Amino acid sequence: MRARRVLIGLSGALLGAALSAQAPVSDVDAHIAAAKAAAGLDYRATFVNLCFPGANPALANPAAAPARGAAPPGGRAAAGGRGAAATPDRATWYASPYKVFDNFYWLGTRQHSSWALRTSEGLIIIDTNFAWATEPEIIDGLTALGLDPRQIKYVVISHAHGDHDQGAAELQKRFGAKVVMGAADWESTLQRPATAAGGVPTRDMVVGPAGMKLTLGDTTIDIVSTPGHTPGTLSYVFPVKDQGRTVVVAYSGGTLTGAFGTNAARWDEYIASQQRIAQAAAGAGATVLLSNHSEYDNAYTKARLIAAKREAGEDHPFVVGAAGVQRYFTVMTECATASKLRVGAK
């Protein structure tokens, strides 16, 4: 596969003419080229993981990754999060919390991100993390930043995989936070055994295909239904303040396409979802692109750059501009289209 791609890359026009029966191969290459151009230097990991999923067996089938519910920090999501999860060596994952915008805080490990949005009526946590990160990163992180975990009113979960949702039940139980999740992901979550890592949250707010606006005090999150990575994946568009100025964030809730196989409907659903969130982001003037994996948005690196001196003309490290936001979703759309063609999905 790799050799064929290189060959076509070297003499694409020539081969394309000679092997017109294999036109789909050059179609695949055209979409990969479009994704690569959109990725530029900013979104290399998203490009590689989505356009070449076969390079890593765990990526090709996340559900088959070892250590379900207790994936090592660099590993893939554990579907469901079953079984008690041992805490990995802290030296491999711990990161200090950072204030990223006036009212927006990063509470991630070096691999996975959780965020706090501060409103006039309390806090919204966007994604949690593995259960073992709830206390050191979210609860202690908020406290270290001068915020009160008892002010958590909502926990919004982008999708029901253990690396993003295992903290939800604990925050719900301890602080009375309402958990918000896509309808289909609630269904899979509620099927987990009571012994699942982090426990099982009680169903609070269910987001259907039409999405919803979640308002707390002075802040509204536009929750966009983006099924694909999981059937209930949610993505978001919301405003934050940068030194008093409003900046709009687009948040990509689910990334990998590995398990779709030849099911064209699933590929099409994923692609339509990326187009939907891209459109919502454009409509709201989003200039910040976030993910729940630092691998995709460089959140851990950028969070530490907030305090660094900015050269003349340099913007806030998380601001990539409206075109930069759109390029991210172009990478997702083009790679998914290439992968769908490559596997011969029908």
Rounded Cα–Cα distance for residues 42 and 35 (Å): 12
How big is the site for Zn ion, counted in residues (CB under 5 A)?
Answer: 2
Rounded Cα–Cα distance for residues 114 and 58 (Å): 23
Mapped onto helix, strand or coil, the DSSP state of residue 37 is helix
Rounded Cα–Cα distance for residues 39 and 197 (Å): 35
Contact (Cβ atoms closer than 8 angstroms) between residue 58 and residue 163: no
- Least distance from Zn ion to the Cβ atom of residue 229, Å: 6
Rounded Cα–Cα distance for residues 97 and 76 (Å): 22
- Least distance from Zn ion to the Cβ atom of residue 111, Å: 13
Q: Which two tokens stand for residue 133?
A: 């990160």
DSSP for residue 161:
B
User: Which residues face 224 on adjacent strands?
Assistant: 235
Q: Which of residues 160-199 bind Zn ion (CB under 5 A)?
A: 161
x/- binding map, residues 70-89, to Zn ion, per CB under 5 A? -------x------------
**Closest to Zn ion by CB, 12 or 75:** 75
Read off the amino acid at residue 170: E
- Least distance from Zn ion to the Cβ atom of residue 158, Å: 8
- Least distance from Zn ion to the Cβ atom of residue 78, Å: 9
Q: Pick the piece of the chain touching Zn ion (CB under 5 A) from 157-165, 205-213, 260-268, 291-299.
A: 157-165
Read off the amino acid at residue 146: G
User: Which residues face 105 on adjacent strands?
Assistant: 99, 116
**Closest to Zn ion by CB, 15 or 77:** 77
- Least distance from Zn ion to the Cβ atom of residue 162, Å: 8
**Closest to Zn ion by CB, 161 or 340:** 161
**Closest to Zn ion by CB, 248 or 335:** 335
Does 50 sit near Zn ion (CB under 5 A)? no
Contact (Cβ atoms closer than 8 angstroms) between residue 324 and residue 287: yes
- Least distance from Zn ion to the Cβ atom of residue 227, Å: 13
* Cβ neighbours around 236 below 10 Å, total: 28
For Zn ion, the binding residues (CB under 5 A) are 77, 161
